[in-house]
Structures are given as structure tokens and as C-alpha cells.
Amino acid sequence: MAVSLKSPQTALAVVAFGIIGLISIGAYAAAGPRQGMAVLIGGLAGISLYHASFGFTAAWRRIVTEKRGGGLRAQFVLILLTSAVSFPLIAWGDTLGWPAGGFVFPFGIAAAIGAFMFGAGMQLGGGCGSGTLFTAGGGSTRMMITLAAFILGSVFATAHLHLWGQLPKLQPVSLIREFGPQGAFLLTALVLGFIALLTVWLERRAHGDIAPARKTESVLQGPWSPMFGAVMLAVVGIATFIVVGRPWGITSAFALWGAKAFHFVGIPVETWPYWTWQKGALENSVLRDTTSVMNFGIIFGAMAAAALAGKYAPLWKLTRRDVLTAIAGGLLMGYGARLAYGCNIGAYLGGLVSGSLHGWLWLLFGFLGSMVGVRLRLKLGMG
């Protein structure tokens, strides 16, 4: 059934696009043309996330509560499309004159705990890292609270990260290094394909059919189908590899924003071990931090998308449960993301499109945490 499109909020859309342009110019002045382009890539991410309602949180919840797997399958399409370009770039980029590196990290007890915390937190908070940004940018006041708590949890974690780092961990494993880009891609496709078939089996067993996917009604105003959203976000991920030289990330910027705020009010974060080797990031303009400027692009890209859809209407009336669960979820996500190398974008997506074993382990422990978070939501009457 066709969706009735609302009249666009043109003035707000113009303002949002104008802000993206100004941030891009500032980033260009601060760190060069690639930094300016990163803002625009972030803007495209914000538009794509909003119009496709492409969040990891709801998809992970629906497979548990409703046995519907369309959202998960769209995520797998995003991963495979990005990997088709990122794996060769990581393996042969230096030879091709377009060097790119992946996120390949050791995974241990701290990362497992962090991924579990993040999974539970995203269900309470109502969104993951990217989901928090695009829904806050789209006008959700509750997600603005989640974002503030996310930032606070992130900077709290940096105070203790050197202690967590002493716990046992596996050595980093690169599937690209072990099997080559072709072998790594085939292995990734086989595992994701198996999980996708499993979701189809679960869905048909529970409902007798596969739920029809939402269709794209308007490229400009949305909504978009999940698969079109996956394709556009793959463009974002590939563009990030090409322009920035690494996978897309979200949450490291939250720790930086929180640390800068702490430093501003006189808390000596620069003496914390985590920040002693990142003192330059603390002292430099935030426009020199690529993850930060991409996040700014996401926020205002989502605002522009909401305005184009005629749906930017912040709701200021929140219940106590709304506020408390937003704070709890944000704190869990912020702390957990630092322990586990990031969120669904930086650790799960970023790990898999880098051919790293840690991405698969993050998926496992993050999903287990999400299942606990779903149970907490049900107990709290959140659905």
C-alpha cells in the first residue's frame, strides 16, 4: 500500500543542508579535502539511515520477538556489498595506489563484556550508535538523552580502559591475510548466507510466509525499502574506505566529545592513560577528527531527510521510564563500545568488512546482550 507523503519542510531542509556545507568547508580548512568529503559522506549516511529506517536495534529485536528476519538480511546485503570492494582494497590497495586498512583487533574478555553491554544497552536506549545519531538528528528528543548518556558512558570507559586491557584476549585474526580476499569473501558470504537461510526458515515456520518488504515510495522524501537502504549504506561504507582509508566508525568520537567537555570543566582527562597517547585529539579542533565530522554529517543529514519527509516534529513530553531507560541504555552502550572496539557500525560492520574475526565474535556477544535487553524491554512494558 502506498504511503501518503507529507509536504516537505523546505526551509528546515535548506538549513540542514547549509549546515552540512559549512561543516564540510570547516573540515576542509582544518584537515584538507578528504576531511571535507568525509562530512558529505556522513550526510549521505544520515539521509540513508533515516529514509530507510535502517537500524540494527529493531532488526535484532524483531528476529527474537516476532521471528521476522528481513532487517537482518538487509544488514547482510550491506556487509557483502561493502566487502566486495573493501577486501580487495585492504589486500591490494597499496599496489593499486589506493591504500586502505581494516579494523583487525584482538578479542577477549573485556571485548565480550563490552559487546554484551552494548547489545543490552541498545535495546533499552532504543538505538545503536548510528541509530542514536540519525534518530536524534531526525528530531527524537528521547534519543538526544540517549546520545548524551552515550557520550558520558564513553568517556567514563576511557578512565578504566587500561585496566580492562590487562584481561586475557585472543590474538587478532585477519581472514584476508589467512585466505586472501577471494577466500575471505567466499567464507563471509557462506556464513552470512547460512544465517540468512536460517532466518527464512524461522520466519516461515512461525508465520508460513516471508513478510513483504516495505517499498521505496520516493528517493527524495522516503521511505526507502530496506534493500535500497542497504545499497546506499554500502555506498557510504565504500566511499569511507576510498576517501578515509578505513572502515566507517561512530563511537570513538563520542569519547572524544566527552573528554573535551570534561577537560573544559577542569577534569584532567589528559592524565588518563587512554588520552596520553591521544593528546593531539584533545588539543586539536574537533573538525580534525574524521569520525566526529562524519557524525555531524549523519545528524544533519538525518535532519534534512526528516524535513524532506515533512516529519521533523520533536516530541517534548517524555515519561520517567522514557528518560531513565534512555540514560541507562546510553551509559551501557557508551561504556560497552569502548571495551569492544565500537558499536554495530565500527565493530560488527567494520570488523566483518575488514575480514576480522573480532567482528564475528562481537556479533555473537552483542546479539546475546541484545536478547537480554529485549527481555528487559518486555518486563518494563516497552514492547
Helix (H, G, I), strand (E, B) or coil at 35: helix
Dihedral sign for Cα 234, 235, 240, 245, please: positive
Does residue 238 belong to any structural domain of this protein? yes
Average pLDDT, the chain: 94
Answer yes or no: is pLDDT of 129 > 80. Answer: no
Question: Residue 25 is part of which domain span?
Answer: 10-379
Q: How confident is the model at residue 1 (pLDDT cuts 50, 70, 90)?
A: very low
| pLDDT of 362 strictly over 50 | yes
Higher pLDDT, 156 or 278: 156
| Alpha helices (H) in 32-140, listed in sequence order | 33-52, 56-65, 70-96, 109-125, 129-137
pLDDT band at 381 (very low <50, low <70, confident <90, very high): confident
Question: What does the pLDDT average to over 348-352?
Answer: 96
> Would you place residue 192 in the very low, low, confident or very high pLDDT band (cuts 50, 70, 90)?
very high
**Position 139 confidence tier, pLDDT thresholds 50, 70, 90:** confident
| Integer Cα distance of 177 and 362 in angstroms | 20
Residue 118 has a pLDDT of: 97
- Interior angle at CA 169, CA 193 and CA 157, nearest 5: 95
Q: How far is 282 from 236, CA to CA, in rounded Å?
A: 27
In this prediction, residues 16-36 reach a mean pLDDT of 97
Number of independent structural domains in the chain: 1
Please check whether residue 89 lies inside any domain of the structure: yes
Q: What single DSSP character describes residue 208?
A: S
Residues 6+ apart with CB under 8 A from 226: 52, 54, 70, 71, 74, 213, 214
Task: Tell me the C-alpha distance between 124 and 16, whole Å.
Answer: 29
ω into 181 cis (within 30 of 0): no
- Residue % of the chain over a pLDDT of 90: 84
d(CA 383, CA 378): 5
pLDDT tens digits, one per residue of 233-250 = 999 999 999 999 999 999
Residue 220 domain flag: yes
Report yes or no on 2 lying in a domain: no
pLDDT value for 373: 96
| Res 97: pLDDT | 86
Q: What is the pLDDT of residues 285-333, one digit of tens each?
A: 999 999 999 999 999 999 999 999 998 888 778 899 999 999 999 999 9
Q: Flag whether pLDDT at 2 surpasses 70.
A: no
Residue 4 lies in a domain: no
Long-range contacts of 24-31 (CB under 8 A, 24+ apart): 24/293, 24/297, 26/287, 27/287, 27/293, 29/287, 30/285, 30/287, 30/288, 31/287, 31/288, 31/290
Residue 16 lies in a domain: yes
Confirm if 175 and 352 have CB atoms less than 8 A apart: no
Residue 1 maps to a domain: no
- Residue 4 reports pLDDT greater than 80: no
Residue 124 is assigned to a structural domain of this protein: yes
Alpha carbon separation from 79 to 75, 190, 196, 344, 363 (Å, rounded) = 6, 12, 12, 12, 13
Nearest CA to 83 among 289, 360, 298?
360
Tens digit of each residue's pLDDT (9 = 90 or more) over 38-61: 999 999 999 999 999 888 999 999
Classified as helix, coil or strand, 268 is coil
